[in-house]
Structure 1
């Protein structure tokens, strides 16, 4: 096959990263010198009049999708007989690669993935677009959270395209029953795919197994999903999303509302929640990759993809082509990367927010490893409070300059319901944790959570029962903490005081 041209439109193609059923993915340089991902469609597709008509329409619709938890479409056009689509880079591996090499996601990252993908779908649907091919390789795990790519691209192949043509009509393991039967695909089909994707992320396997196309399609249409091992806090919502009847599935907006415990959550607010809860995944390196044009890493000849060694997560260098989840990551540096600390993007995002209510995932979830940053002493105590017995665990108390972030978990180990909403705030109508304060030694006044335009930079707790065995993770941001303070008492109001907790420096 001929090599792709050196330039498409105003974009200089640096190297091919991969290919799929609809075309190729290239690392490219835009006119300003920045890096973008350019997807060039196969000539036989671009030659079809129907495709050319659809391309302009669908590309314009994709450009209307808001940037919340998505990799936005920046440009599209034709250069001679080449149709191309330009998207923003996302620095991170895809979900399929991470689960394959590291196992299922757990804890806050699983929760953030659920919210992030639902947020992306809400933004996509609000623009009048249907994704049609949501699957693990179409979700990239960036340092600040998941990003959904390739929305609306599968539709470009047209309804006459065969199911087996490189997933142009969707991926069997993640498609909805109506899509598998060749019926009209609506936003409800994307919600079904969300349920399948979350099952894979939380268990390591899709809900209808694996196998040939015909076998998978039969299971999707006729079998109940296998959800064994999925986090119990997510399972009821995933079950609803996987309902065979699209009319009974929640919408993407309803997914967000259920996940965050409040009504009509805005996509920008949900995106801040994802950023706050997401822990960047470390990316081991086995040495510098070979360099291509302008210092861009190259792949081995003929590989068309990443050369990350087996056993470490690969940067997303085109697991497939357009329509197959193939958005590459930004070029990797040849210098070894220092370990990224989870709180850096979290703190940056929180401090950058200028309005809106600070919220977090007050989703009851199982205990999971890795809740605290290494080096932060774990502090646990049990108290009699709110008519029950509660276990309080300080997961992390980390500073950057004069700003400190507290993260802690409360578990109901008693027998009675102990609702938290309204108990840790400044009054019965304050369902935040604004009452929780730090008391440095020798300081007369306690330090309360910071505020933006009156809104607490802290957890907003949903009004819901908090019964025996349930647990919830909370956070608060504090400013102007003296930099010479190394330990504080944490006053949690009715939950008591946790004494002498060490602050971990960045």
Structure 2
């Protein structure tokens, strides 16, 4: 059987609420579990008008830390100012209650990590549109005074309208809490920039550009430019060694290499990345059409518009 000729069944987009999951948060009736991340669990709910939303409830150990709450409040306030075609807007939040939460628009789509796992590396044209879209999202995020700090394939959704960057405005809130002195690591080691790993200089907008270089390499190859293996060895190579870009399409290597510069000041900004993608695109134009994704992936993305009825007994916002 040729690789990727047939695909395993996709993982369910939604799961039923478990015995320890809340059934309601601040008047939002929770209808299904979307997923769980390092900062908390994400649930499907609906606004009063029936618009689906993704509601993230922060883990209790973060909620109990006063430094986290202070920073979380500031970051959510900034994240609510982010507006852009490739970001997912924050619609509502509460940073003062027993369990802090925020609600974003629900975007039907596949995380880049899952798309590559199931379908293999993306075509060059798709990668260029993906990287340009994520770079534009970073420009919107940075323009609001937010640094993502955890950009990775799991935080990039592939939707029919283009890539969507999620989960900005939270990782930084936890960065200086007491949790950073324990086994909880803010960010994902495989996508950390050298300055995140060594702590100097402080993480800033250029940190997200380093992560974008790794994301671009992953999208184009399915692999990592600093190899595989345990977190400590990988972080050592990120700090000390040059990336191996031999598996990437030759035309992409200069763009990826520029993002992976060790010194933050040597990395391009989001606008420069967009222009580099434009120069590499057919006709030197970036035009996102309905068919920007490979057909098999596009078909599965369209299926995620459907919410399982069994998990959504009522679509109304609780009152």
Using structure 2 for the length normalisation, give the TM-score: 0.82
List per-residue Cα deviations over 1:81-126 (Å, max 9, x = no partner): 0100101111111100011111000132111111111111111111
Query: Contact 1:10/1:30 (CA < 8 Å) preserved in 2?
Result: no
Identify if the C-alpha distance between structure 1 residues 247 and 78 changes in structure 2 by more than 3 Å, giving closer, same or farther: closer
> C-alpha distance in 1, partners of 2:240/2:141?
28
1:86 matches 2:100:
no
Of 144, 162, 167 in structure 1, the residue corresponding to residue 180 of structure 2 is 162
State yes or no: 1:191 paired with 2:209: yes
**Equivalents in 1 of 2:114, 2:234: separation in Å?**
21
| Structure 2 Cα separation of the partners of residues 207 and 86 of structure 1 | 34
Cα displacement (A) at 1:70: 1.1
Kindly indicate whether structure 1 or structure 2 has the higher relative contact order, using CA contacts under 8 Å at least 6 residues apart.
2
| Residue in 2 that maps onto 1:14 | 31
Q: 4+ residue stretches of structure 1 with deviation over 6 A?
A: none
**CA contact 1:140–1:147 (8 Å) conserved in 2:** yes
Q: Counterpart in 2 of 1:175? A: 192
> Counterpart of 2:13?
none
Aligned counterpart in structure 2 of residue 143 of structure 1, from 146, 160, 166: 160
Report what 1:209 is aligned to.
227
* Cα separation, partners in 2 of 1:215 and 1:90, compared to 1, 3 Å: same
RMSD: 2.6
Shift of 1:261: 4.1
* Aligned: 1:292 with 2:311: yes
- Per-residue CA deviations over 1:45-103 (Å, capped at 9, x if unaligned) read 11221111111100011111112211111111147401001011111111000111110
Contact 1:208–1:225, Cα closer than 8 Å, also in 2: yes
2:139 corresponds to: 122
Q: Which residue of 60, 84, 94 maps to 2:77?
A: 60
Summarize the Cα distance change of 1:146–1:154 in structure 2 as closer, same or farther, 3 Å threshold: same
Q: Matched residues in 1 for 2:92 and 2:290: separation?
A: 30
Name the CA distance, whole Å, in 2 between partners of 1:163 and 1:144. 40
- 1:37 corresponds to: 54
1:22 Cα deviation after fit:
1.6
Unmatched 5+ stretches in structure 1: 263-269, 297-506
Aligned to 1:283, the other structure's residue is in SS state helix
Structure 1 residues 80 and 174, CA, compared in 2 at 3 Å: closer, same or farther?
A: closer
How big is each residue's C-alpha offset from its partner over 1:111-168, in whole Å with a ceiling of 9 and x where there is no partner? 11111111111111111111100000000000121111111211121324338856x5
Q: Is the 8 Å Cα contact of residues 177 and 244 (structure 1) preserved in structure 2?
A: yes
| Correspondence 1:311-460 to 2 at 5 A | none
1:222 lines up with 2:236 in the alignment: no
Q: Which has more strand, going by share of residues?
A: 1
Q: Any idea what the Cα deviations from partners look like across 1:17-42, whole Å, max 9, x if unmatched?
A: 22222211111122222210000001
The Cα shift of 1:2 comes to: 6.3
2:249 is matched with which residue: 218, 231, 234? 231
Structure 2 unaligned runs (5+)? Answer: 1-17
Flag the 1:77–1:295 CA change in 2: closer, same or farther, 3 A: closer
Cα distance between partner residues in 2 of 1:6 and 1:118: 37
2:99 aligned with 1:98: no
Q: Is the 8 A contact 1:115 1:274 kept in 2?
A: no
- Indicate if the aligned counterparts of 1:115 and 1:256 stay in contact, CA closer than 8 A: yes
Contact residue 172 and residue 213 of structure 1 kept, 8 A:
yes
2:268 to 239, 246, 250: 250
> Which structure features the higher share of helix residues?
2
